[in-house]
Chain A
Amino acid sequence: MMLPRRQTILGGVALAAGAAAPAHAQLTIDMTKPSFEPVPIAIVDFKGDKVGADIAGVVRNDLQNSGLFRSIAPSAFIQQNMDPNQPPRFPDWRSVGAAGVVVGQVTQAGGNIKVDFRLWDVVVGQQATGLSFTSQPDKWRRLAHIIADAIYKRVTGEEGYFDTRVAYVAESGPLGSRVKRIAIMDQDGFNTRYITDGKTIALTPRFSPTLQEIVYMAYGENNAPPRVYLQNVESNRRELLGNFPGMSFAPRFSPDGTKVVMSISADGNTDIYEMDLRGRALRRLTSGPAIDTSPCYSNDGSQIVFNSDRGGTQQLYVMGAGGGGERRISFGTGRYATPVWSPRGDFVAFTKISGDGFGIGVMRSDGSGERMLANGFLVEGPTWAPNGRVLAFFRQQPNSGGRAGSVTLHQIDITGRFERQMPTQGDASDPAWSPLIPQ
């Protein structure tokens, strides 16, 4: 029952029991509809090992946090002591209002743990999905996220995003001399670790598509201007990406991970450059006295969206990935900044600054269909979850009486619903959502 293993987490294996149930109205969500009720789902503590209850807890938390599921409290469950290999007593689950019930068990497998789980469609009384995963015992949280992703996918038809990480800027200390260092955590706030030491300000982390590396900007010691660094998050080895006389910042990987696009300033003027990571060759993509910054590749790598004040105020522009053919796409009232292309390619998310304050919004890449998702005194820096359905950004509360307002990470569905604060250790800004972790 095992697939060839790769490092820590082994591939999922479909459990053969029961024919695949057809999609049913109540255990599926059509997210294209303007409104839908969260799917009520019961996740029973997994059997066979103490960690089984912990795994179920993580799955509940993931699904509940998505806003698309309502996790039924275990205290309401009628059927107890279930055999994970037998179908549940469907009437018992119907009467607690569950559309789906998840059962599973944990077994020891030669130093690893093996987790089997099944999602039962209570409405039609059939198994909806069943998979088996194996991992090292200390990686059980990842197993739980992978299971939550499988359930999310089965019910919504979209890829999940729970087995991911978020990099961000951890902030501490008084505002005038704030310590800002790069941290990485699991998407649900666990396993936080710090990538930079906080001696100098580090900002704007971004993941490589392979997740092994991040790029970010950090100031040098003794008032040396900011530079872009490439850092391996496993080994913590870091490299300077080009030693330019001026400031270099706003880095972002190309979708294939072979290039980094960034801004470089010289004599007060800021333009966009692309660096090939293999030969470190640098190519200039924009010119002119305007500020051109916050570049981001399209999902297919053929275009770059960025913001520029060449027209008097900050607006969004799209150009070819090699530069040229620049055209403005934002024409609403206000300033537009920090454009980020969706991994699905359908939308560009942005920060908008207008008389009313700051907002996070999305528009199509031709500038049409602008829609605001979140507003506030200061909201900034959207980043996409890998499925292109969910965004994270940060909120800063106003400072008052010389004291800093709190800075927190938030996630929101692309429909503008289900905003929730993401747990972080202390103040946090500049979130960067990772791709799905390779299994």
Chain B
Amino acid sequence: MRMIKALTAIAAMILIAACSNDQQAAAPATTTVTPGSVADFRQNVGDRVFFDTDQSTIREDGRQTLNRQAEWLKKYGNYQVTVEGHCDERGTREYNLALGERRANAARQYLVAQGIPAARIKTISYGKERPDPVGSDEAAWARNRRAVTALQ
């Protein structure tokens, strides 16, 4: 029963991820953002990766996003970044702060492994304090279990 639930959730997330990837793939053709800008990073690279419930392992879709992030950050070496870890609201406040930290750190480690100097990347956890999007359903929760790479 639990397994089925988990599988459904994962399937839902893959669908969502697929949708957003489509949008990103379509983006360069229609928008005119300055290459190397924050908007360029968000729209054409993707500033966030998503996690399974209670997990901090980078998923395959997340690896692809982080690979693109690493390439972009190598190209535009003037940016410092902060990786923000977030959780859905289905956990307790304090534990979620720690889990968000773990997620931020997992994304950071991945970027470092791709050759971004560790000194360029800070991390911060927001636990469940900064939901985006706001919602109390599985789709919203899946989007909230995230690590967001913010440029400075």
Contact = CB atoms under 8 A, between A and B. Distances in A.
Interface of A: 174-178, 180, 201, 203-204, 223, 225-226, 246-247, 249-250, 263, 265, 267-270, 291, 293-294, 307, 309, 313-314, 335, 337-338, 351, 353, 355, 377-378, 380-381, 396, 398-400, 402-405, 429-430
Interface of B: 2, 5, 54, 56, 82, 89-95, 97-99, 101-102, 104-106, 108-109, 122-125, 129-136, 140, 150
Contact of B129 (A203, A225, A335): A203
A228 to B, nearest CB: 12
Given A223-B82, A247-B101, A180 B129 contact: yes
Contact of B95 (A267, A291, A396, A398): A291
Given A201-B129, A247-B101, A294 B106 contact: no
Nearest to A404: B134
Given A203-B129, A225-B124, A263-B98, A430 B136 contact: no
Contacts of B105: 267-268
A268 B112 CA distance: 14
B106 to A, nearest CB: 7
B94 A265 contact: no
Nearest to B140: A399
B95 A175 contact: no
B136 A400 contact: yes
Contacts of B82: 223
Given A203-B129, A269-B102, A396-B89, A338 B124 contact: no
Given A178-B129, A250-B94, 16 more contacts: A176-B131, A201-B129, A203-B129, A223-B124, A265-B98, A268-B105, A268-B106, A268-B123, A307-B95, A309-B95, A338-B93, A398-B136, A399-B134, A400-B135, A402-B135, A403-B134
Contact of B98 (A178, A270, A404): A270
B98 to A, nearest CB: 4
Most buried by A among B98, B122, B124, B130: B98
Contacts of B109: 268
Contact of B135 (A307, A313, A396, A399): A399
Contact of A402 (B5, B91, B101, B134): B134
A268 B102 contact: yes
Contacts of B94: 204, 249-250, 263, 293-294, 337-338
Contact of B134 (A175, A223, A291): A175
A294 B125 contact: no
B125 A203 contact: no
A378 B91 CA distance: 9
A76 to B, nearest CB: 45
Contact of B133 (A247, A268, A313, A402): A402
B50 to A, nearest CB: 17
B103 to A, nearest CB: 8
Nearest to A394: B93
A203 B22 CA distance: 38
Given A203-B93, A293-B95, A396-B89, A268 B104 contact: yes
B102 A351 contact: no
B59 to A, nearest CB: 17
A429 B127 CA distance: 15
A355 B5 CA distance: 10
Contacts of A405: 136
B132 to A, nearest CB: 6
Contact of B136 (A178, A270, A377): A377
B90 A353 contact: yes
A225 B126 CA distance: 9
A176 B54 contact: no
A271 B128 CA distance: 20
Given A204-B93, A291-B95, A246 B54 contact: no
Contacts of A265: 98, 101, 125
8 contacts: A223-B122, A225-B124, A265-B98, A268-B56, A268-B106, A294-B94, A353-B90, A381-B92
Contacts of B99: 291
A121 B106 CA distance: 67
A203 B140 CA distance: 23
A395 B89 CA distance: 12
Contacts of A293: 94-95, 97-98
B4 to A, nearest CB: 12
